[in-house]
Amino acid sequence: MQHTEITAISLFGLTYIGIALGKVPGLVIDRVGIALLGAIGMVAAGVVTTSGAVQAVDIPTILLLYSLMVVSAQLRLGGFYSWAASEIVILLDRPRMFLLTGMVMSALLSAVLANDIVCFAFTPVLSVALIRAGLNPLPFLIGLAVSSNIGSAATIIGNPQNMLIGQVGRLDFGAFLLWCGPPSLASLVAGYLVILWMYRGRLHISNLDSEAMIGQKPWPEFNRWHTAKGLMAVAALILLFFTSVPREVSAVVVAGILLCSRKMKTRAILGLVDWHLITFFCALFIVIHGISQGPYLGAMVQGLAAKGAALDNLPALAAVSTVLSNLFSNVPAVMLLLPFLDPANPAQWYTLAVSSTFAENLFLLGSIANLIVVEQARSFGIDITFRRHAAVGIPVTAASLGVLMLWMYA
């Protein structure tokens, strides 16, 4: 084994272990920093050349991700998300209907916009409303996180890993929706029923002091024009995604048009772009490229096949995806598995997209959206612990994966 091969294996292993742990002992560094150090190491050690590193990054995927973040920022600054959340508050006197409506709205918005932003904007509004109504906020806020993850599985643009799968697999937007939409809808219903069962008789219990609320609204004021502009951009994008125009081209053009504003500063919009996530993507592309030049990933897949977990078997692929997504997070897991999917079999790509997204609900750390809800809720004195989330997340994930298995056989 050559020196560069040993270096590639070592850097890849250290990077993925660090991503799994989420930190490096003795250092204040997160998953993004760990992935970036792994990419730097690949270049510095000569495993990947600088030109090879640039070529390893899938520019169309990055452009699509970046452009959709700009569109979402437009709606966030226009107060659309907060307005949408506040519109369902009239149902607070009917808690079960309020839970269902909130979960459906969260899922629908997450299917066409970033689920992280949906959770970021919805959580403060719902927290204030629930505290004032004397309801137990836990089922409603956990339902928000669960439904946003489930809803984002339905479309190519619902979350970062789906964007990656759709771009690399050159998947059709409509065909993706037709395959991934039904199990997402069924899983949403299952999630709702699970939460109702888990919190039966406890929807009205609240030990929170209403004085814990902050005095002023912690969300942007609703602006009709900016919101309309953002919604027109979303509608235009979805229509363009059904045409032959490359998705990344459609998205970046629409994002460019949104930047042409007389009142909303470019800095304000770009300030809401998740540059950390984009850096994470770029770094992982380089790390995966470095290790893929050798036979090691192929040997790993062959080893899985020898143990009855061949990736061309859809249930086995879903199981491997779920496990890896909870070990390393779903974006690194998806990048690891993508090279071994059959381009002529779209069902493999759809299965990876849905299973890796459903896996986000298993544990609290499985999704950024989960963590956003927890952190936002904490500022209102609402404590969503790992155990409380798992009590709902585990049965919801089991039900969702069961739905996916049935859909595969159907």
Measured distance CA(51)–CA(48) in Å, rounded: 8
Q: Please give the pLDDT value at position 127.
A: 87
Q: Is the dihedral of CA 264, 375, 99, 206 positive or negative?
A: negative
Residue 334 has pLDDT above 80, yes or no: yes
Mean pLDDT is lowest, of 210-219, 222-231, 327-336, for 210-219
Q: Please give the pLDDT value at position 277.
A: 85
Q: Please give the pLDDT value at position 206.
A: 53
Q: Please give the pLDDT value at position 299.
A: 73
pLDDT tens-place string over residues 56-84? 999 999 999 899 989 988 988 888 888 88
Q: Three-state SS for 27?
A: strand
Q: Which helix (H) or strand (E) covers residue 66, if one does?
A: helix 59-77
pTM of the complete model: 0.87
Bin 79: left if φ > 0, else alpha if -120 < ψ < 50, else beta. left
Q: What is the mean pLDDT of residues 319-327?
A: 88
Q: What is the mean pLDDT of residues 84-93?
A: 84
Q: CA 249 → CA 156, 172, 199, 244, 272, distances in Å? A: 15, 15, 46, 11, 21
Q: What is the mean pLDDT of residues 224-245?
A: 92
Angle at which helices 386-409 and 137-152 cross, to 10°: 40
pLDDT tens-place string over residues 352-402? 999 999 999 988 877 888 888 988 888 888 888 889 999 999 999 999 999
Q: Please give the pLDDT value at position 83.
A: 87
Residue 96 has pLDDT above 90, yes or no: yes
Please report, for the chain, the start and end positions of each structural domain, with discontinuous segments joined by +: 58-271+294-409
Which amino acid type is present at position 296? Y
Q: Please give the pLDDT value at position 217.
A: 55
Q: Please give the pLDDT value at position 163.
A: 92
Measured distance CA(324)–CA(129) in Å, rounded: 37
Higher pLDDT pick, 312 / 304: 312
Residue 116 has pLDDT above 90, yes or no: no
Q: Please give the pLDDT value at position 211.
A: 52
The tokens for 246 are: 């490359």
CB half-sphere exposure, 194, CA atoms < 13 A: 24
| Closest-CA residue to 226 (of 74, 347, 337) | 74
pLDDT tens-place string over residues 161-201? 999 999 999 999 999 999 999 999 999 999 999 999 999 88
Which residues, at least 6 apart from 186, have a Cβ–Cβ distance to it below 8 Å?
Answer: 403, 407
**Which residue's structure tokens are 């859909």?**
407
Q: Please give the pLDDT value at position 132.
A: 82
Q: Please give the pLDDT value at position 24.
A: 82
Task: Kindly report the average pLDDT of the chain as a whole number.
Answer: 88
Q: Please give the pLDDT value at position 292.
A: 81
Which residues, at least 6 apart from 54, have a Cβ–Cβ distance to it below 8 Å?
Answer: none
Which residues, at least 6 apart from 84, have a Cβ–Cβ distance to it below 8 Å?
Answer: 105, 109, 122
Measured distance CA(247)–CA(156) in Å, rounded: 10
Higher pLDDT pick, 191 / 299: 191
R_g over Cα of the chain: 21
Q: Quick one: what percent of the chain has pLDDT higher than 90?
A: 48
pLDDT tens-place string over residues 32-59? 899 999 999 999 999 999 999 999 999 9
Sorting pLDDT into bands at 50, 70 and 90, what band is 405?
A: very high
